[in-house]
Structure 1
Amino acid sequence: MKFKKISTLCIGITFILGGCMNSAPENQQEYSATTKANSHESLIRVQDYTGQGYALDGGQATAKIAEAHHEEIEKAVKAFFLDKYKTKVKVHNIVGALNAASVFVESEGEPHFYTYAVVPIDVKNKQVMADKVWSEEGQVEDAIRTGIYAMVYSEEFKNLDQYLKEFTTEHNLIGLTKEAVENVGGNGYSTPYYYISISPDAFGINLSKIYLENPDQSKTEWEKILMNQKMNEKSIDITIQLFMKNKNVEPDPSIIEQISKDIKKMNGLPLGIYSMLLHGNMIGKRTATGSKDNSLDSEEIIKDK
């Protein structure tokens, strides 16, 4: 099952930046206090959530520094993506973290994807280390692969989008707001209803490497590249995440069952392993996740040729 995989990026970033705690004893007291204070985070209706209140452990000391150096951070992150990943990005959100700022970005044009970078911050001297921007290993490469996949199979994704739009309307469901996806998503090719992750071995070639060597290839050129490769559908994860539209309404198991049945029998959908997550109407402000005790998940469904 993929329920444990649910995730917004907060889990990964908290772990990665939390790992810096031992090398920064001056922030350990603040880190512990922040963790304890947020053990019972406030909730908000998902349709009202745009990322407000999102926080990372240790971010109290860096949030104000990051805000004061917003332009410097934005400029450094844009240069980082252009230099290392040959991609122009727009910056949507900058969030304080332990000894750093986490910066959520969206690629401009195609391939389209969301991801993030980390800018180290010297808390003691209140300085932003703009020349030391970094990204989690494999994170951006995964995002690039998802963007290429969605671009090449755009018709199949349109079919999935149309199905989910009709299904959510019919069953009184809702997805994340577009602003939440932009500000706290960071999950590759994403929509308010789903996000994708693709392993490096999905096509038998190093897709992200080919992109870095020639990022300006057209959709037609990418189609030729992928059509000549054997696809490993089990290396493509498509996670559908939905919420009950009305407050105080429990997630309905029959909804998960119906989506599973529909995905199994439908033709013309993107290939991959599908999993479904269904939450109540509320989402955590701090963690940007709807995962709660009453959340439901499905068995994996493999869509292959």
Structure 2
Amino acid sequence: MKTLYNLLVICLGFSIFLAGCSNFQSGGGQPDNAGAEDNTKDDRLVRVQDYTGEGYTLRNGKETDKIAQENKEAITKAVETFFLEEYKTEVIVHNIVGAVDGATVFVESEGEPHFYTYAIIPIDVSQKKVLGGNVWTQEGQVENAIITGIFAMIFDQEFAKYEELVDEIIAKHPVTGITEDALRNVRAGGHGNTFYYTNSYDPVFDQLVTTYLNNPNTTSEEWKSLFGKDDYSSRGFTLTLYLYMEDANAEPDEDIFNDIVSGLEKLDGIPKAYYSVILNDNFIDKTNALGLKENSLRRSSPDYIIKE
């Protein structure tokens, strides 16, 4: 079983985000699935407005995906039980995608803290058997998601102001985000919505997870009394605004991009954090849920928009 787990770690590695460590990222916390299908680029690209997560694939997942789909009920129950026992969190299972020797299960937390994440369930291919008692998660993945959800509870007013700006951007410019279905089915980027996602990096946030596991019913006001903006550095938390052009024939527009960046730079009263802005064309790769391409416009590492 240890060998099986090692293989899963290699093949279901967590994608590196532009918001944190790299200039190339998925636009959400989904597992690494580069090279999952040998399709041509044009076959893979679909309009972002039409993308629900259908066609999303992981390496060597065809056989396990069939087994997983035949055992949806058992997988759903096993993953729900796992999150309740290990993370004191009720989750909704939205999507199950086969991978080498297992399946990735995309979930959404119920209530607060609110976040999206995933777990992995091993599958014995030779026996066509789902190993429901061995559900696991990649180190730090769920913890990061929980932290981002708690962070949003603590800084709810600041998040509201950030989301007001996002709403203004969408109303003012011909840009859009992913669909609600795609958000649920293939985005595992912690707290966020169809336009943005979040990540945490400062070890100081670990105390939030400990407190949550001891008392998952901690209220927003209680969180605010335990943790504030002076308790972490701005570099320890990132918010990434990840947008697409609305028109199928439109290239990422520099004037629109610069206006979005300028608006964010001028905005006060939003969460203390490092901010990125990404503007893609209208198309998304259905096999890996990536919109980032050579023509994408980016304001990101190392030139983050910094709010202290």
Q: Mark yes or no: TM-score above 0.5.
A: yes
Secondary structure of the corresponding residue to residue 24 of structure 2: helix
Secondary structure of the corresponding residue to residue 148 of structure 1: helix
Cα pair 2:201 2:236 within 8 Å, conserved: yes
Secondary structure of the corresponding residue to residue 4 of structure 1: coil
Secondary structure of the corresponding residue to residue 191 of structure 2: coil
| Match in the other structure for 1:249 | 250
- CA distance in structure 1 between the partners assigned to 2:253 and 2:187 by the alignment: 25
- Residue number among 157, 171, 174 corresponding to 2:173 in the alignment: 171
Deviations 1:241-280 (A, max 9, x none): 0000011100012222222211121112111000111100
Distance 1:42 1:80, change over 3 A: same
Q: Structure 2: state its 5+ residue gaps.
A: 1-17
Secondary structure of the corresponding residue to residue 119 of structure 2: strand
| Match in the other structure for 2:13 | none
Identity score, percent: 41
- CA distance in structure 2 between the partners assigned to 1:294 and 1:228 by the alignment: 36
Distance 1:195 1:232, change over 3 A: same
Secondary structure of the corresponding residue to residue 14 of structure 1: coil
Distance 1:129 1:13, change over 3 A: farther
Deviations 1:213-248 (A, max 9, x none): 111111111010113852211110111100000111
- Aligned alpha-carbon RMSD (Å): 1.8
| Match in the other structure for 2:143 | 141
Give the CA deviation at 1:9.
Answer: 3.5
- CA distance in structure 2 between the partners assigned to 1:68 and 1:257 by the alignment: 48
Deviations 1:74-116 (A, max 9, x none): 0000000000001000100011111111000000000000000
Cα pair 1:202 1:233 within 8 Å, conserved: no
| Match in the other structure for 2:307 | 303
Cα pair 1:181 1:190 within 8 Å, conserved: no
Cα pair 2:25 2:292 within 8 Å, conserved: no
Secondary structure of the corresponding residue to residue 149 of structure 2: helix
Q: Structure 1: state its 5+ residue gaps.
A: 16-31
- CA distance in structure 2 between the partners assigned to 1:39 and 1:254 by the alignment: 28
| Match in the other structure for 1:44 | 46
Give the CA deviation at 1:200.
Answer: 3.9
Secondary structure of the corresponding residue to residue 51 of structure 1: coil
Count, aligned residues? 285
- CA distance in structure 1 between the partners assigned to 2:193 and 2:223 by the alignment: 22
The residue type equivalent to 2:28 in the other structure is T
- CA distance in structure 1 between the partners assigned to 2:138 and 2:41 by the alignment: 26
| Match in the other structure for 1:4 | 24
| Match in the other structure for 1:285 | 286
- Residue number among 67, 72, 87 corresponding to 1:70 in the alignment: 72
Deviations 1:141-171 (A, max 9, x none): 0000000011111111111112111112211
Cα pair 1:234 1:272 within 8 Å, conserved: yes
Normalised to the residue count of structure 2, the TM-score between the two structures is: 0.88
Distance 1:133 1:41, change over 3 A: farther
| Match in the other structure for 1:20 | none
Distance 1:185 1:228, change over 3 A: closer
Cα pair 1:276 1:297 within 8 Å, conserved: yes
Question: After the TM superposition, which of the residue ranges 102-111 and 263-272 deviates more from structure 2?
Answer: 263-272
- CA distance in structure 1 between the partners assigned to 2:126 and 2:63 by the alignment: 10
- CA distance in structure 2 between the partners assigned to 1:13 and 1:69 by the alignment: 23
Deviations 1:161-185 (A, max 9, x none): 1211111221111011111111100
The residue type equivalent to 1:111 in the other structure is P
Distance 1:38 1:138, change over 3 A: farther
The residue type equivalent to 1:247 in the other structure is A
Q: How does 1:145-164 map to 2 (within 5 A)?
A: 145-164=147-166
